[in-house]
Chain A
């Protein structure tokens, strides 16, 4: 039986704000426990929440970018359940009237741009942190601390429109790119800035209904999501093929062993007793605020990716790499203006990114040293062949550390581009005279290639000769010798 997977994702994104969702405590990580808490995020008796404008703005930006309906009136609600990392034993979230509904996230799957429909996006608060159980004497305890409690989260739920582990990966990569693009978050799953649960069910291929779904948790990386979803699809398929039935359950994915374990079944499902949060008034966003947010949106990554391909004639691969980050794409665009776009693309994709990686630099740091105008000047020299390959790379490396035009850098380092035939002819002749056997073999058509000879000349020139000039001279000299013998 051919089974079609039906997958929905539920993502929680930590928004990068200065302070928490409902209080003015700083959002900070890695510090001493319980040093960024106050009566509100500790859930002390008598404390009350106040909504962080920046968190709402983040949700609105994300919602508008994804084409959601952003509600002018939305409602906060309490989700009631007991857990030690929840100081109030309820979470303030949104239920009935969330901030954003509908919309879709574009993502490229197998070279085609798809749009994955969303159900909703809303704001809520994160829980504190509980540590794994420890043993103290004959007692087993857990420790809890609340620096993280109250951190703003955006919850995003997709419609059950994903159909494979690969689509999940594409979705998450696109989402991560977008949230970085908008400056909302780094979206790094390993740092728990983006968390993702998956709902998975199977149905016979080509049928419209929905099978029983399970929920997978503890997917801690994009790879983990892909593998966990794949494991669950396989598990359900095997079960159904045997004639068994899928039981609605929550499963934990164990990445180390690529295994799923049941955490709880439907019978234990919580009754969250949602009701509107009485401590927060209905959230009203005036049209002016929404209009301003819409106007402030930058060109979105998928739109820019498409534009780079069409306007600059770049291959899809290049466009994707260059639009991986907003600052990178801005840099490219500035460099590609009135210049050879493909050349700029190659140098940025390969050489700039390599430097960033090797040196651990941000693009901003690179751009300080090599602003777009400077790279443009360099590229135009390369483009007109005035700067041959190996020399170009050398000059590029110098530009990262030193000021000056390419000519100034060459002069400073005592390197000259040898491009004139008059300069190079003596060198070519000398090389040919130093390698008589090679020349003889080449002229007989045996074993020695033209490229080899070119290489000898280039080496003798210390890489400073322009290859095309060398090639032309070599042809002339060899022809002369050949004709002579």
Chain B
């Protein structure tokens, strides 16, 4: 199998997803099938093929000026699950320093 249960757990943690123990193996099997299928890429001759990038002509940069999209605080907070003093509220952040 391309990916085992432990690996699925590690990936799930990176993606902030929880997988119930009883589902773990099933998910591993499904993912493995797709990843093994990805081996078909090896059949292609990729000599001289750089990764696709996107670079259209035209001005890529915008002027350093307001563009009329700034929202009022009410709009910003309207859809928020929990608000206090104009801020979004979350359960405690364990390490309170920006990485």
Contacts and interface: CB of A to CB of B under 8 A. Distances in A.
A299 to B, nearest CB: 25
B85 A33 contact: yes
A18 B64 contact: yes
Interface stretch (B19-27, B35-43, B91-99): B91-99
A50 B62 contact: yes
Contact of B90 (A35, A51, A142): A142
Contacts, number: 137
B93 A284 contact: no
Interface stretch (A77-85, A223-231, A300-308): A77-85
B73 A34 contact: yes
Contact of B60 (A51, A55, A252): A51
Contacts of A84: 88, 90, 93
Contact of B55 (A39, A53, A270, A284): A284
B50 to A, nearest CB: 12
Interface in A5-43: 17-19, 23-26, 32-40, 42
Contacts of A278: 54
B48 interface: no
B88 A19 contact: no
Interface in A82-129: 82-85, 127
A61 to B, nearest CB: 14
Contact of B97 (A35, A56, A252, A282): A252
B86 A32 contact: yes
Contact of B69 (A23, A54, A82, A130): A23
Interface in B23-65: 51, 53-56, 60-65
Nearest to B89: A141
B53 A25 contact: no
B75 to A, nearest CB: 9
Contacts of B14: 271, 273
Contact of B88 (A50, A53, A140, A143): A143
A217 B92 CA distance: 21
A460 interface: no
B68 interface: yes
A132 B97 CA distance: 9
Nearest to B86: A33
Contacts of B96: 130, 132-133, 142
Interface in A143-164: 143-146
B91 A82 contact: no
A82 B98 CA distance: 11
Contact of A37 (B55, B76, B85, B98): B76
A35 B72 contact: yes
A283 interface: yes
A217 B61 CA distance: 33
Contacts of B84: 136, 141, 143
Contact of B53 (A33, A75, A136, A145): A75
Contact of B99 (A23, A139, A270): A270
Contacts of A25: 66, 69-70
B66 to A, nearest CB: 5
B64 A19 contact: yes
Nearest to B66: A24
A26 B90 contact: no
B67 interface: yes
A263 interface: yes
Contacts of B66: 18-19, 24-26
A181 to B, nearest CB: 20
A54 B66 CA distance: 13
A281 interface: yes
A16 to B, nearest CB: 10
Nearest to A283: B60
Which 10 residue pairs are nearest across A and B when measured between Cβ atoms?
A24-B67, A54-B64, A143-B87, A53-B61, A282-B55, A33-B86, A38-B69, A140-B92, A50-B62, A145-B87
15 contacts: A18-B64, A19-B64, A26-B70, A33-B86, A34-B77, A37-B76, A54-B64, A140-B91, A142-B96, A144-B88, A145-B86, A270-B99, A282-B54, A282-B55, A284-B55
